[in-house]
């Protein structure tokens, strides 16, 4: 079952790219400004869509990346 979309005000958030993102343009930006969710966007399309993940889901993803569960990045 898909989760319902919850409106999130992104008008005042700050966006950050990883220091590892200087890889030829394949970059995402995240915002740490919201307490319960992590917005993610394509750094090449600043006005494009934003994916919003619950903080626990994002932390699980980051842990899996750090553990190499997705192979070499």
Q: What is the pLDDT of residues 24-49, one digit of tens each?
A: 667 889 999 999 999 999 988 989 99
- Cα separation, 18 vs 9, in Å, equals 23
- In this model, does residue 2 exceed pLDDT 60? no
Tell me the two tokens of residue 2: 């898909």
pLDDT at 46: 87
Is the CB of residue 52 less than 8 Å from the CB of residue 39? Answer: yes
Find the mean pLDDT for residues 9-21.
86
Residue 58 has pLDDT above 80, yes or no: yes
pLDDT at position 56:
95
Following CA atoms 14, 40, 32, 36 in sequence, which dihedral angle do they give, to the nearest 10 degrees?
130
Q: Could you tell me the pTM of the whole model? A: 0.78
Structure tokens at 70: 């997705």
């Amino acid at each position: 079952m898909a989760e319902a979309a919850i409106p999130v005000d992104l008008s005042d958030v700050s966006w950050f790219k990883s220091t590892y993102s200087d890889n030829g343009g394949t970059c995402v930006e995240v915002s740490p400004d919201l307490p319960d969710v992590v917005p993610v966007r394509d750094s090449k399309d600043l006005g494009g869509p934003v994916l919003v993940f619950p903080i626990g889901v994002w932390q699980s993803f980051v842990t899996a990346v750090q553990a190499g569960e997705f192979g070499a990045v």
